[in-house]
């Protein structure tokens, strides 16, 4: 798979392999990232860029160092963590009715590595609207009694 660096059209990563290796090589630990094959590294970079893209509500017009660093830290984390795994915890179901119209809310939680970026990554991505770190959700529908 070819890496296409942001902001190029159809981009799939914020950093290329050379930049990722340089940044990650300067970190305290690499969790085995540097020992991976280029193909494995590319897959991790594409996955982590996708997760950042899903989390961020806005991105800069050009690449910024904190975005590169966030992806590098996330790539290290993803080396030993399945970033796509999550579980849905059970929660209370609340029903509210106003005459014949009602809503039902499930207040559960999504827990797992896909919902939990390391604190340093959350901090680096905060300026892009990313508030990753676990989440609660609710679902609603309109029904009739």
Give the residue extent of every domain in the chain. 17-144
Reported pTM: 0.72
CB 92 within 8 Å of CB 107? yes
Question: How far are the Cα atoms of 1, 6, 108, 131 from residue 122, in angstroms, in the given order?
Answer: 27, 20, 22, 7
Each residue's pLDDT, cut to its tens digit, for the chain (145 residues) gives 799 999 999 999 999 999 999 999 999 988 999 999 999 999 999 999 998 998 888 999 999 999 999 999 999 999 988 766 555 555 556 666 677 666 655 555 545 544 578 889 989 999 998 876 433 333 334 444 4
DSSP secondary structure of 101-124: EEEEEEEEEEESGGG---HHHHHH
């Amino acid at each position: 798979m070819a890496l296409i660096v942001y902001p190029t059209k159809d981009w799939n990563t914020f950093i290329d392999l050379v930049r990722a290796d340089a940044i990650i090589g300067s970190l305290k630990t690499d969790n085995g990232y540097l020992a991976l094959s280029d193909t494995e590294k590319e897959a991790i970079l594409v996955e982590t860029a996708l997760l950042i893209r899903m989390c961020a509500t806005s991105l800069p017009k050009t690449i910024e160092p904190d975005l590169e660093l966030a992806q590098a830290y996330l790539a290290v984390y993803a080396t030993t963590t399945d970033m796509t795994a999550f579980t849905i915890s059970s929660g209370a179901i609340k029903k509210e009715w106003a005459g014949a119209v009602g809503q039902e809310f499930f207040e559960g939680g999504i827990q797992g590595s896909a919902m939990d970026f390391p604190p340093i990554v959350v901090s680096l991505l905060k300026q892009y609207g990313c508030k990753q770190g676990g989440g609660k959700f609710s679902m609603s529908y309109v029904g009739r009694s």
